[in-house]
Amino acid sequence: MKTNDILINSNRGSNKLAILGGSPVISNLMRPSAPPPYVDDKMVEAIVKTTKSGIWCRIQSATGTVATFEKEYANLIGTKHCVTTGAGTQALSACVEALGIGAGDEVITSPYSDIGTLSAVLFSRALPVFADLDRESFQLDPADVERRITENTKAIMPVHIAGNPANLEKIMAIARKHNIKVIEDACQAHLTEYQGKKLGTIGDIAGFSFQASKNIACGEGGAVVGNDTELMEKVYTVMNHGTSRKGKHELIGPKYRMNEFEGALLLSQLEGVHERHKRRNENCWYMRGKLRDFPGVVPQKLYEGTGSSSWWLFLNAYRKEHFNNVPRATFLKALSAEGVSAGGYIGSGFHKSEVIKNHILDLGVYKKMYSPARLNKYRDELPCPNCDDVCDELVLSLGVATAPGKEYLDKIYDAIIKVYENRDKLRSL
Ligand SMILES: Cc1ncc(COP(=O)(O)O)c(C=O)c1O
């Protein structure tokens, strides 16, 4: 589509920017409130039933809600095993611990994720090594991952950001070449498909989150999935404060158990999960289609083989050169005034976080576990300039996945184009 077509085809009412006193494209009345977690009567009944049953903890019943959900979730994702936890962070931490990764070892991961990704590595006192991002997909850049491998690298933890697949084909090839494990951080990626398989089935092991904002949710919860029976038994043992199914205290493990109320909530919402997944895909693919020929807002690059996705977020690259070079914050102000739910997502990469400074670089415990030479190299190689640009200027998250329908998505698009048409006025904001 050419710029002229965009001008002709748009339907944007008053063309004066709302932030300058015009009427917004999406009025407050039309705007849906932020989507709450999915709730239906079955879920409420399931909680009541569990409350009355007196079976509240997973160890009270081998056929309770948690054990049953584990079977169902493994089936849904397509792995032999599933072990639930109390959070996605705990799931990833159990993966690291079960793989025997600890002090002296290194895990390469993305600097652009929820803090749970980083916490999972830090808990085991392994060194979290950040590789930089691809600027179009916001996923780990495999070439930078390979550059950062050392003799102590034990795992790569790619994050499927926004629920879309990381470049797993390349990452898996690198991992196999260097004999390194892959822990998929699939915390945002329920039911996402890549090259005909579900995410969570491609690496050696994977972690999911069921925190309240996720597509499958129980407030706080998580799951590890995998096919390696021995490894998954270790995950169970770690999760169960180090005590194996045989009742022996065998490993270092915190208590990461999911409770039966969480199991009941999860189990009872599985029925409609495919329908909700389909709706998110319809919305997001429709919006990607609309934005296809508009160069100012470019949807997240997807790798070949990406199938249906969780679309936990709908991320785009904001191209300021098409908006009179105004910073993203100015564009966001104007777009939000038009009634669009939009933001920048993660404010800053892990490589800039205080915990790295306090515990690894300055006075922290990492000095007891890693040589001065390694920590000096770590400091020198910490910068991730692409991630900085992604955080500071590039990423634009739009409230698309749960939008109430195509008409509403058309309005989001119209609002973007309205701001574009008024780009000469943005500098004054
Ligand atoms: C990519 C990613 N990793 C890890 C986590 C941590 O999961 P949880 O919040 O359930 O501990 C999240 C949660 O949002 C996430 O999005």
* Index of the ligand 1 atom closest to the CA of residue 90: 11
pTM (2 d.p.): 0.96
Residue 13 has pLDDT above 70, yes or no: no
- Ligand 1 touching residue 116 (CB < 6 A): yes
- Ligand 1 touching residue 188 (CB < 6 A): yes
Task: Indicate the Cα dihedral angle 185, 187, 188, 193, nearest 10°.
Answer: 60
Selection from 111, 303, 79, 83 nearest residue 203 by Cα: 79
Rounded-to-integer distance, Cα 236 and Cα 387, Å:
35
What pLDDT score does 315 carry? Answer: 98
Rounded-to-integer distance, Cα 67 and Cα 74, Å:
11
Rounded-to-integer distance, Cα 413 and Cα 397, Å:
13
What pLDDT score does 1 carry? Answer: 42
Rounded-to-integer distance, Cα 67 and Cα 82, Å:
9
What pLDDT score does 386 carry? Answer: 98
Question: Tell me: the pLDDT tens digits for 375-394?
Answer: 999 999 999 999 999 999 99
Residue of 211, 258, 312 to mutate, ligand 1, most atoms within 8 A of C-beta: 211
Rounded-to-integer distance, Cα 140 and Cα 158, Å:
7
State CA 19 to chain mean position distance: 32
What pLDDT score does 364 carry? Answer: 81
Residue 8 has pLDDT above 90, yes or no: no
What pLDDT score does 12 carry? Answer: 59
Look at ligand 1, atom 5, and give the residue with the nearest C-alpha.
Answer: 116
- Ligand 1 touching residue 217 (CB < 6 A): no
For residue 222, how far is its CA from the centre of ligand 1 (angstroms)?
Answer: 9
- Ligand 1 touching residue 88 (CB < 6 A): yes
Percent of the chain topping pLDDT 70: 96
Please name every residue paired with 84 in a beta bridge, in sequence order, or none if there are none: 223
For residue 115, how far is its CA from the centre of ligand 1 (angstroms)?
Answer: 7
Question: Tell me: the pLDDT tens digits for 90-144?
Answer: 999 999 999 999 999 999 999 999 999 999 999 999 999 999 999 999 999 999 9
Give one DSSP letter per residue of 349-398, joined into a string: -GGG-HHIIIIIISSSTHHHHS-HHHHHHHHHT---HHHHHIIIIIEEEE
- Ligand 1 touching residue 89 (CB < 6 A): yes
pLDDT band at 14 (very low <50, low <70, confident <90, very high): low
For residue 95, how far is its CA from the centre of ligand 1 (angstroms)?
Answer: 14
For residue 220, how far is its CA from the centre of ligand 1 (angstroms)?
Answer: 10
Contact call for residues 398 and 340 (beta carbons, < 8 A): yes
Q: Is the dihedral of CA 258, 260, 264, 270 positive or negative?
A: positive
Residue 10 has pLDDT above 70, yes or no: no
* Site of tokens 């239906």: 40
Residues 291-323 as b/e (b if ≥16 CB within 10 A, e otherwise) read beebebbbbbbbbeebbbbbbbbbbbbbbbebb
Question: Tell me: the pLDDT tens digits for 132-159?
Answer: 999 999 999 999 999 999 999 999 999 9
* Site of tokens 């990492």: 366
